[in-house]
Structure 1
């Protein structure tokens, strides 16, 4: 039960941080302050120089150029070692959330969260790194994975750069 509260608190903090960033952007836009955003070609060059896989296309409806980037989704699956006592489990859960928070703060992961059922796949993390090997290595640093409570299944995933969840 305590671990659900910790997860809820973590997700709330992540949402608040995202809202705060959005509110700051809107405030700057409304106040007439121009925030220098890199052009699509500058962003494309920067991502390519860092080793990211990208491509772009023109949206027929809007005529905008959409830049697509490869991300990596880690499916966190139930592992073989799930018999920890409550004290160990609470400690692992706190370390797990610290790990995910650190990945977000360092810019390696953009979204993390649990699923709402009790299925085999317990949650996901979307890694914003150039290679599958880097994403896999970062995911395997998670204390829950090290303890065998979670297993990682990693998949490449493409999404439009800069689009947000609604």
Structure 2
């Protein structure tokens, strides 16, 4: 009898500790979350490209187009995270995108809409990544804390 009670206790403990009491199925489904609250994304690492542009006006236009494209992709729900790196690094990484897509091919097609990538100012590498399905939700909070848009 003692063994049976121990077994039942272990089963109940596993059930109680294995499930999240705050789980919101409707929210999880809307974000395409798996049972761990995760989903696939594609990370794109922007690198220094082969083209060097010394014309400041032309470079300014390309960077404006780059930022506008980031805004459009975020508004369309395709881009969850974007940002530059502060420091130089040995791989010449300049910035990062996390695309809200499932395949590298989808992400590559979106990256190629960036004027700075098209001009060769940036090159890139793409990787599949597994992260929190809630990641795209941070953008709605970012709008509430930024005084200016780039």
User: TM-score, normalization: structure 1?
Assistant: 0.61
The number of residue pairs the alignment matches comes to 112
Q: CA deviation at 1:55?
A: 4.0
**SS of equivalent to 1:122:** strand
Equivalent runs, 1:2-151 vs 2, <5 Å? 38-40=26-28, 42-43=29-30, 47=32, 55-56=34-35, 66-119=36-89, 120-151=92-123
**SS of equivalent to 1:103:** helix
Look up the match of 2:125. Answer: 153
Q: C-alpha root-mean-square deviation of aligned residues, in Å?
A: 2.2
**SS of equivalent to 1:155:** strand
1: distance between equivalents of 2:113 and 2:60? 18
Q: CA deviation at 1:130?
A: 2.5
Of structures 1 and 2, the one scoring higher in RCO (CA 8 A, sep 6+) is 2
Q: Does the 8 Å contact 1:140/1:152 carry over to 2?
A: no
Cα 1:39–1:148, aligned 2, differ >3 Å: closer, same or farther? closer
**SS of equivalent to 2:113:** coil
- Report the structure number with the largest CA radius of gyration: 2
User: TM-score, normalization: structure 2?
Assistant: 0.67
* Structure 1 runs of 4+ with >6 Å offset: none
